[in-house]
C-alpha cells in the first residue's frame, strides 16, 4: 500500500502525538507493507509550517528539533520527483502538489484533512480519505498486528 500524507496531516502528527495523524504516521513507520510517498515540495511546505514562530513557541520546539523531524520524515519516505502538473483544485492551487505527488508516486491513498481534496474523493483512481477513514482502512488490513504491537509496547 502506498500513501501520500497531506501537509496538514504531517503537521497534525507533529503537533499532537495522540491524534489519528500521529497514529497513522507511526503505523506507516512500523509496517513495511505501507510506503510513505512524498515530494520535496510537500516536505518544504511541512518545514515552513512547523517553523512558523507561533508553532515553535506554542509547542516549544527548537529549530534543531524541527530540522530533525523533517529529516526523519524524509528518511522514511520515498521521495518522488514531480513530473506531472495537474491543475485541479481551483480554490487552493497548493493542493495540486499533493495530487501530483500521489499520481507520480502511483499511490493508493491520499490522506488529507483538507476539504478541497476530500471533496474530490478520488483522483485518477487514487482514493482521497480523511485520517479517520485511513485508520479504518489500516485497521481492517493490519488490525491483528496493530493490537499485538500495542500489547507488546505496554
N- to C-terminal Cα separation, the chain: 27
Q: Are 76 and 128 in contact (CB under 8 A)?
A: no
Among 10-24, 31-45, 48-62, the least confident range: 48-62
Q: Strand, coil or helix: what is 48?
A: helix
Strand partners, 2: 35
Query: Which residue ranges form the domains of the chain, and what is each CATH number?
Result: 2-153 (3.40.50.1010)
- Is the pLDDT higher at 65 or at 6? 6
pLDDT band per the 50, 70, 90 thresholds, residue 48:
very high
Q: Are 152 and 30 in contact (CB under 8 A)?
A: no
What tens digit of pLDDT does each residue of 96-134 get?
Answer: 999 999 999 999 999 999 988 899 999 999 999 999 999
Q: What is the pTM of this model?
A: 0.88
Amino acid at each position: 500500500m502506498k500513501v501520500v500524507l497531506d501537509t496538514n496531516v504531517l503537521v497534525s502528527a507533529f503537533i499532537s502525538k495522540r491524534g489519528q495523524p500521529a497514529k497513522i504516521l507511526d503505523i506507516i513507520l512500523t509496517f513495511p507493507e505501507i510506503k510513505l510517498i512524498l515530494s520535496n515540495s510537500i516536505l518544504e511546505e511541512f518545514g515552513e509550517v512547523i517553523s512558523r514562530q507561533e508553532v515553535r513557541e506554542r509547542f516549544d520546539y527548537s529549530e534543531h528539533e524541527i530540522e530533525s523531524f523533517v529529516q526523519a520524515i524524509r528518511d522514511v519516505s520515498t521521495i518522488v520527483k514531480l513530473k506531472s502538473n495537474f491543475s485541479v483544485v481551483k480554490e487552493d492551487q497548493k493542493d495540486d502538489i499533493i495530487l501530483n505527488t500521489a499520481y507520480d508516486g502511483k499511490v493508493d491513498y491520499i490522506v488529507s484533512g483538507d476539504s478541497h481534496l476530500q471533496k474530490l474523493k478520488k483522483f485518477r483512481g487514487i482514493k482521497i480519505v480523511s485520517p479517520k477513514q485511513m485508520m479504518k482502512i489500516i485497521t481492517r488490513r493490519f488490525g491483528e498486528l496493530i493490537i499485538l504491537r500495542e500489547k507488546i509496547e505496554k
